[in-house]
A and B are shown apart, each in its own frame.
Chain A
């Protein structure tokens, strides 16, 4: 059963993309991650133009995170002030990122840029997760008690000017750090089609030293607004949001996530992380191969455009 995607301008097999959305939804439900960094690469591997994969990815992440954000909001786990500061930085980053997408596409370098970004991010994250999870598995097998994280220490971040008080997070820190963090995540959303939770959550815990109970809620809060804004910006500047493709992925994704969450409860955290790390490194290797292997065809055609 094929369907013509109006913006990607290609015929697509609905079942393939439904299954893809379902699989990524399943993994994201199982591992408790956003799934954007798996969805966008899979779309690219399936032949969707990289720019359309990235733009449509933002809309798909929005659908995947909104229900979580509402649930966290009800439980009062959102630091609205922190979220707003992050969002201001994020919107600036998104505007810059969307403009970078336009320029890179104009010069025919967008595919390579996306591949390179993914190789770097997935490589680093995959390796860190692999090392951490194997260590934990080994320690658990040896019967040692796994120590929790230390907190309460100050670092260089706390010495910056423009201090603001964040009541919900019980923090008095410079607004510069969350602004820059937000900006960086905004860039990632626009250029890589990811939610950026995998950067945002660790940064909130280790860099901003926010209490863990508000980390996930605040991260989801800003992701919802950031991906909504990025979707509109991408559609207006780059015309790379395919609403049909997004809808197919959303349906597959939300259903898959429900089953993934159920499956995830039966596996141990460190085992899950080991599995996810292996998967991430596999995707990373696939992009790296695309960058370094000699292509069979050196030429490519793009339609309308300048030179």
Chain B
């Protein structure tokens, strides 16, 4: 009788666990299966989306630039520890005599989704360091990396760099509307600088890597950007600008994404979409782990 009851308990425990683990994932898994391409591509997640592409040719310019990124969809799995993406580009109608001639200049910008960031500043209150003031900014890219054939101040004019958002000084994040405390320009400046400093220290904002774009032929070039382990998931845009003698000839941008995959995606979705069931499942796991361990050690303990 006791044996039976115990077994029934274990069955109930396992079924709760299974239902808890599977329920929110079922629809997603099915959807993925339907979308999955016949031949899975290494490192590319299933259900590769058609990239969004924007091409622009300046009036009067004979050349145009095109580019692509090595991985359109990067999977963030449980073992994600950062990755490197490559940007391959080509110049249509290239007038360049050789790869080494330096006839054209290329700037590559990889930018994560614009999002809201709250910056807090500590000050000393009665001997303790507390967060006492904060500013919310909108349009703060989660990630920003810029690289070019040579230092950007030699490639493009200050006004062009500001216009196209080239370089960390020209990020266009703005204080969110409806801040409770009015902000002075001085404050906004120091908070902006803090975002750039903190994100740079975290390896999420990089614009010091000059000579990162190299021509490998008369019309093709290559660049690489490292996405660190702490990069946020979401949509990315990679923009490529083609300059000659401080004049923009053509630009091109391509979208790509960083997505959670596997157990990682599943657990994150579970925790945020069905938080109560997720909490309940955690409780069941904790109970199971605690009881299983004590049962195991009672039989063959070290003591």
Contacts and interface: CB of A to CB of B under 8 A. Distances in A.
Contacts of A108: 118, 120, 131, 134
B77 interface: yes
Nearest to A305: B118
A305 B117 CA distance: 7
Interface in A237-294: 239, 241, 243-244, 246-247, 250-251, 254-255, 258-259, 261-262, 265, 291-294
Interface stretch (A34-42, A60-68, A76-84, A170-178): A60-68
B115 A304 contact: yes
Contacts of A146: none
Contact of B279 (A112, A232, A294, A307): A232
Given A4-B264, A306-B136, A63 B287 contact: yes
Contact of B268 (A6, A65, A235, A301): A6
B76 A4 contact: yes
A70 B276 CA distance: 25
B281 A297 contact: no
B81 A2 contact: yes
B290 to A, nearest CB: 4
Interface stretch (B48-56, B97-105, B163-171, B190-198): B190-198
Interface string B94-130: 0000000000000000000001111111111001111
Contacts of A295: 122, 129
B79 A258 contact: no
Interface stretch (B206-214, B215-223, B251-259, B291-299): B291-299
B286 A235 contact: no
Contact of A291 (B77, B81, B121, B128): B128
A86 interface: no
B15 interface: no
Contacts of A222: none
Contacts of A291: 128-129
Given A10-B230, A307-B180, A299 B191 contact: yes
B290 A307 contact: no
A234 B286 CA distance: 15
B281 A243 contact: yes
A299 B121 CA distance: 5
Interface in A3-36: 3-4, 6-7, 10-11
B119 A3 contact: no
Given A2-B81, A59-B283, A306-B136, A301 B293 contact: no
Contacts of B195: 301
A65 B134 CA distance: 40
- Give the interface size bracket for B toward A: 35 or more
Contacts of B86: none
A232 B283 contact: yes
A302 interface: yes
A10 B233 CA distance: 12
Interface residues of A, number: 60
B69 to A, nearest CB: 22
B175 to A, nearest CB: 9
B176 interface: yes
A204 interface: no
A6 B123 CA distance: 32
Contacts of A251: 289
Interface in B267-303: 267-268, 271-272, 275-276, 278-283, 285-287, 289-291, 293-294, 297, 301-303
Nearest to A67: B294
Interface string B71-95: 0000011111100000000000000
A297 B129 CA distance: 11
Contacts of A239: 271-272, 275
Given A64-B290, A66-B287, A66-B291, A299 B194 contact: yes
Contacts of A241: 271, 278-279, 282
A71 B80 CA distance: 41
Interface in B181-240: 191, 194-195, 197-199, 229-230, 232
Given A228-B283, A247-B285, A306-B136, A301 B118 contact: yes
A244 B267 contact: yes
B149 to A, nearest CB: 32
A300 interface: yes
Contacts of A236: 275-276, 279
A4 B77 contact: yes
Contacts of A298: 121-123, 194
Contacts of A302: 117-118, 120
A-B pairs, 4 with minimum CB distance = A235-B279, A67-B294, A254-B293, A299-B194
Interface of B: 76-81, 115-124, 127-131, 134-136, 176, 179-180, 191, 194-195, 197-199, 229-230, 232, 263-264, 267-268, 271-272, 275-276, 278-283, 285-287, 289-291, 293-294, 297, 301-303
17 contacts: A4-B77, A4-B229, A59-B286, A70-B291, A108-B118, A112-B129, A234-B279, A235-B276, A236-B276, A239-B275, A258-B302, A265-B303, A292-B128, A298-B123, A301-B120, A302-B118, A307-B176
Given A4-B80, A236-B276, 6 more contacts: A2-B79, A4-B264, A243-B285, A246-B286, A258-B303, A307-B135
